[in-house]
Chain A
Amino acid sequence: MGIGRGEQIGTAVAPGRVHQTMDPIVDQIARQRSRKQVRFRLTVFGTWIVLIGVLIGGLWLGGKINLDFLRQWQAYILGGVPLTLVISASSIFFACILAIFGALGRLSSNAVVYGVASFYVSLVRGTPLIVQILFIYLALPQIWQGFAGIPAITLGIFALSFNYGAYMTEIFRAGIQAIPRGQIDAAHAIGMTDRLTMRRVVLPQAIRIVTPAIGNEFIAMVKDSALVSIISVQELLWRAQTVGASKFRTLETLLLAALVYWVLTIAFSLLQDRLEKRMAESDRRI
């Protein structure tokens, strides 16, 4: 390769030959450098493979993992993945809506509205997510019986949305505050009310700004959705744990669950990278 070098030094070279310079030593250095980079990446990849192999292969060779058992139950356990994804996706959706209102509240000049929003953020951020989930599932029916009739999955999504909404409130607030003053002036100048300015000018731009951060939150949400297994929502972790516990084979089932979460987060990270690159391109639009 050595494209960078070739272009820098070989400007006098005829078109089509820019990849190479007249100077063989420069070419050789460039080639060596790129080979070094490739070697580094390959070694990192190899190290990962070895580590995974040692971990799983070691356990298997040592007779600690029963693959037949896994094969028998994998379909059931993996059957929890769609539910995990549904919970994560719907929770992040509702969390975004809560976060928009939370952010507007945190930016409000009305003391009561600001008070409500800051109370919400403080309450949620100051208590563990697991406590919130248990509270909504177990404690609320004590206040009103009707809560007992609501399916656990609904309550789980509610708890996750409520929690993430508070954290994402700060993300949306930062996104809204990142919009330049001139945009608001321009909206006011064409006669827009504050509300219309927010809806037509500020929020559409703020949402673009916070999209990468929402991606991060979604990846975190995929992992945190495992917590609703504690209220018997039959998602990935619940299935792994239930099967493992009843057959005394939690090593296999939890290992499988962990691997699935890991693969999911890697997959979504890659997806997010591509999405961000696409957005950056459409921003340039040149």
Chain B
Amino acid sequence: MSSVDALRAAYPEPVRDPFAAPGKLTPPGAEAIVRLTSLEKYFGSNHVLRGVTLEVYPRETICLIGRSGSGKSTLLKCTNFLEEPTAGSVEVANIRVPAAPLATRTRKHREEIRHIRLQAQMVFQEFNLFPHMTVLENVIEGPVRVKRMAQDRAVGIAEKFLDKVGLIDKRDEYPARLSGGQKQRVAIARALAMEPKVLLFDEPTSALDPTLVGEVLHVMAELAHEGSTMMVVTHEMAFAREAADRVYFIEDGVLIEGGPPEEVLDAPRDERTQRFLARLQQKV
């Protein structure tokens, strides 16, 4: 643990995210719903997150941009503990869990992590639908098995969200029969059916055929405008510009700058952000 202690000393804990500001739809006086404090993550000797502090307010959408390997996906996965952070702490919906990479989690911690996961639902790059279940079964699985909701109530909720993502007519299909875009929309419905406080999107359109990206982004933009709280890791700058309250640029595991999209994307202050955006434009 001594090296981690040394790290803590090297990165004194900033209490607040310097870039945080309540979003357009955030109710006045609302407290941040996600607080990542001084998060560190090592994969072996690879230092992926270097003291990330980030706050997300209710009903706002933030986008995380940066090149691959910059730590943006890891940051998202640390938020719901699919990756165990090496140091720092995660707070979601008033449940705060400190990093404990070496210690065995107590039952209380494990339950708290499960509650954080319930409140922060993730949509994956690779969809990860359950292939042995139909679309409807995929969506009701969480409500029925995890939240122990009655089957017919869960079906009602599932149908509402499948309708929202425009796939109610596919409810009895198996995922293998869906296109990538349809799969991802089912995955969004599956996350929504858990009625979480925050939605985490991990490059939701990166595994999609270019022609299918639009239908997924459309659903996501709609969610953002309706006031869902969202953390989105993405390379889609048009989406970030359109839907995000704030955009963060992350490089080498450090949040370089953050702010409204028209600042970060159109008038970046930091040289590294400028370089990244310039490269992105060259590609197009």
- Using a Cβ–Cβ cut-off of 8 Å, how many residues does chain A contribute to the interface with B? 22
Q: Is the CB of A192 within 8 A of B82?
A: no
- Decide if the interface of chain A is mainly helix, strand, loop or mixed: helix
Q: Is the CB of B176 within 8 A of A285?
A: yes
Complex Cα spacing A180 to B118, Å:
22
Q: Is the CB of B82 within 8 A of A189?
A: yes
Q: Given that A200-B141, A283-B176 are contacting pairs, would A185 and B194 also be in contact in the complex, using a CB cutoff of 8 Å?
A: no
Q: Is the CB of B132 within 8 A of A196?
A: no
**Shortest CB distance B193–A (Å):** 9
**Shortest CB distance A152–B (Å):** 40
CB closest chain-A residue, reference B81: A188
Counting chain B CB atoms within 10 Å of each CB, the highest count among A188, A191, A193, A200 belongs to A191
CB closest chain-B residue, reference A190: B142
Q: Which residues of A sit under 8 angstroms from B126, Cβ to Cβ?
A: 182
**Shortest CB distance A31–B (Å):** 39
Q: Is the CB of B194 within 8 A of A191?
A: yes
Which size class do B's interface residues fall under?
20 to 34
Does residue B124 face the partner (Cβ distance < 8 Å to A)? Answer: yes
Complex Cα spacing A205 to B177, Å:
17
Does residue A183 face the partner (Cβ distance < 8 Å to B)? Answer: yes
Does residue A44 face the partner (Cβ distance < 8 Å to B)? Answer: no
Q: Is the CB of A190 within 8 A of B141?
A: yes
Q: Is the CB of B145 within 8 A of A196?
A: yes
Q: Is the CB of B194 within 8 A of A204?
A: no
Q: Kindly list the 4 A-B residue pairs having the minimum CB-CB distance in the complex, ordered from nearest.
A: A186-B128, A190-B142, A182-B128, A191-B146
Residues of chain A at the chain B interface (Cβ within 8 Å): 180, 182-183, 185-193, 196, 200-201, 204-205, 208, 283-286
Residues of chain B at the chain A interface (Cβ within 8 Å): 80, 82, 114-115, 117-118, 121-122, 124, 126, 128-132, 141-142, 145-147, 174, 176-177, 190-191, 194
Could you pull out 11 A-B pairs where Cβ atoms are within 8 angstroms? A182-B126, A183-B130, A185-B122, A186-B124, A190-B190, A190-B191, A192-B145, A200-B141, A205-B130, A205-B132, A286-B176
